[in-house]
Chain A
Amino acid sequence: MTADTRHLIPGTSERSERELLTVNMGPQHPSTHGVLRLELRLDGEVVVHCRPVIGYLHTGIEKTFEAKTYVQGVVLTDRMDYLNPLGNNLAYALSIEKLIGCEIPERATVLRVLLAELTRIASHLMFVGSIALDLGASSPFLYVWREREKILDFFERISGVRMMTSFIRPGGLVRDIEPAIVSDISRFIDEMPAYIDSYEELLTANPIFRERTEGIGGLSADDALALAVTGPTLRASSVDFDVRKSNPYCGYETYDFAIPTGTVGDCYDRYLVRVAEMRESVKICRQALDRLTEGSVRTEDRKVMPPPREELAKSMEAVIHHFKLWTEGIKPPPGEAYVGVESPRGELGFFVVSDGTGRPIRVHERAPSFANLQALPKLTEGGMVADVVACIASLDPILGEVDR
């Protein structure tokens, strides 16, 4: 960390002598990706001061966790980052599994990687579509939506729900995935690189798109680290940090993939990093599909996952386990656990504190969007007001996760 970080603290920069105009951007503004409000102080068209105001989507999710059992809590995680529901399920499940210390079958781990990467592709598709739409190009949105629909259709076939799947739970998965769905996913993964080429044809070399993003909203590596920024935003500022590589979970160390990084950390770099990440995710999905073996997708630990139906008719012990799980829930030993994972937006982790009962005393989400959004004043101040839109879109914040 550099010694002088005062310029990163809002309100300490020098004030302009000229009369400033205060403009409220949002909370109901199509380019603010949810309900984000920005208090802008403008000198003509130049942004002198930008103050993000959040909390419009605050629903007290962390408080609600304390009144739910551990498995009921999974449902809340979907609703935090609604573009990365399976990734949030995974982060929450990993923290609880770490607390209990239970083993997950190989097939469940591979399927978790596959689902997490499919979710990452779906989330980055949304990013590509929305940054193009915010900058005035409406057609890429239609194309990326087409592929995103296919991924959501897979989720619907797997879990019955398109977005709020709650499919990854402590102890494994809810149920197995049918071979027909796996082969359809495989076909989709084969087609995906050509689709990514077609989005790049529309945007990457597009002179208008480049003019609106190149050199806009620059963020240096030192500033990004000081502001606790993670994910593609940090990697675009040339820091090759990815939790999947540096602290692997779910066996990511055995997959072959690269960490795309940017050079200058402007909006264009953040776009390029995410598009390159989609290609890497496709590679990971392919490897996961190739190593998929037969087997159970639920842990054998009966204190975490209920016994299969057929056992209930034969075993008294199974009936007791079933009854205890559905009346009292999982009871992790007293303690706390945090497992960091790489969400499409950065380092995501659930800090879960147990007192040994069936309900947590504290669940805190380390939300990547929350930290990344702190960098917005740094990105926008000194730039033009029209570029604020590009800066917000390039951070790809999800306000459901920021406000919780």
Chain B
Amino acid sequence: MTANVETLRSAFASAEIGLPADGIPTIRVPLVELTSAVQRVTRDLGFNRFVDLTAIDRLTSEERFELVYLFYSMQRHTWLRLKTRTDSEAPSITEQIPGANWYEREVWDLFGVRFEGHPELRRIMLPDDWQGHPLRRSEPLGFEPVDFTVTRDVYGGVGSQVSGLGEHA
């Protein structure tokens, strides 16, 4: 694993490389270098299988979303994580890696990160007319109250509208 990290250090001289608790080497690249980094990781370094893409909402004022790409080398049998930060947009990698298609749509749907150059960036989990992006941590959890006689004073009777947890918690 350490030899692996050394290889990555020489390939990504300027980038920050970490080794978190799970032992998967993690490279942080600026957003502008994402496309070239993905190309180098998948072609030159041999991490030829795309595994996963997701986002983390860090709730910071700038570069709020952390995009987390996971790749796997079918020869060396190791994973590799690629991270970048963005406010709301990122370049799409679906042209290079067709497997990223639905993953980018999912991140767009649930976090609202727009992937430039994606062939059909539509919502995937939620209905097309849905407002908002629910996996953002600023979105309330939301629930529909069940009508019990003991909770009627709090929520009202059947048919009353309660929009989210924020108003009652």
* Cα-based distance from A143 to B139 in the complex (angstroms): 48
Cα of A340 to Cα of B23 in the assembled complex, Å: 12
A226→B98 contact, CB < 8 A? yes
State whether A1 and B95 are in contact (beta carbons under 8 Å apart), knowing that A63-B134, A337-B21 are contacts in the complex: no
Task: Please name all residues of chain A whose beta carbon is closer than 8 Å to the beta carbon of B126 when the two chains form the complex.
Answer: 55, 58
Mask, B53-79, CB within 8 Å of A = 1, is 010110000000000101000100111
Contact of B49 among A60, A99, A225, A404 (CB under 8 A): A225
Contacts of B99 in A (CB 8 A): 226-229, 371, 374
A55 near B97: Cβ-Cβ < 8 Å = no
- Produce 1/0 per residue, B72-109, CB < 8 A to A: 00100111010000000000001111111110000000
What is the 8 Å Cβ interface bit string for chain A, positions 16-60, against chain B (1 contact, 0 not)? 000000000000000000000000000000000000001100101
Which residues of A in the span 344-369 have a Cβ within 8 Å of any Cβ on B? 347, 349, 351, 353, 361-362, 364, 366
Residues on A with beta carbons closer than 8 Å to the beta carbon of B102: 370-371, 373-374
Can you name the residue of chain A whose Cβ is closest to the Cβ of B77?
Answer: A246
- Whether A134 sits at the interface, judged by CB under 8 Å, is no
B154 contacts partner chain A, Cβ-Cβ < 8 Å: no
Query: What size tier do the contact residues of chain A reach?
Result: 35 or more
Number of interface residues of B (CB under 8 A): 43
Main secondary structure, interface of A, reads: mixed
Is the C-beta of B141 less than 8 angstroms from some C-beta in chain A? yes
Taking the complex as formed, is B31 at the interface, i.e. its CB lies under 8 A from any CB of chain A?
A: no
Asked whether B43 lies within 8 Å of A1 as measured between CB atoms, the reply is: yes
Instruction: Return the CB mask of B17-36 against A: 1 if under 8 Å, else 0.
Output: 00011101000000000000
B74 touches A225 (CB 8 A): yes
Q: CB distance B125 to A241 under 8 Å?
A: no
Give the chain A neighbours of B43 by CB distance below 8 A.
Answer: 1
Cβ distance A73 to chain B, nearest Cβ, rounded Å = 14
A251 at the B interface (CB under 8 A): no
B48, A67: Cβ atoms closer than 8 Å: no
Shortest A375–chain B CB gap in Å is 9
User: Cβ of B50 and Cβ of A228 under 8 Å apart?
Assistant: yes
Q: At the interface, yes or no: A193 with Cβ under 8 Å from chain B?
A: no
Cβ contacts under 8 Å, A54 to chain B: 124-125
> Most B CB atoms within 10 A — which of A229, A336, A373?
A336
Could you tell me the distance in whole angstroms from the C-beta of A56 to the nearest C-beta in chain B? 9
Q: Is B137 an interface residue (CB 8 A)?
A: yes
Q: A residues 368-383 with Cβ under 8 Å of B?
A: 370-371, 373-374
Q: Are B94 and A241 in contact (CB under 8 A)?
A: no
B144 → A minimal CB distance (Å): 13
B51 within 8 A of A: yes
- What are the 9 tightest A-B residue pairs by CB atom distance, in nearest-first order? A228-B99, A8-B98, A337-B22, A58-B125, A364-B54, A246-B77, A55-B125, A366-B52, A227-B99
> A interface vs B, CB < 8 Å?
1, 5-6, 8-12, 54-55, 58, 60, 62-64, 66-67, 95, 98-99, 101, 225-229, 239, 241, 246-247, 333, 335-340, 347, 349, 351, 353, 361-362, 364, 366, 370-371, 373-374, 403-404
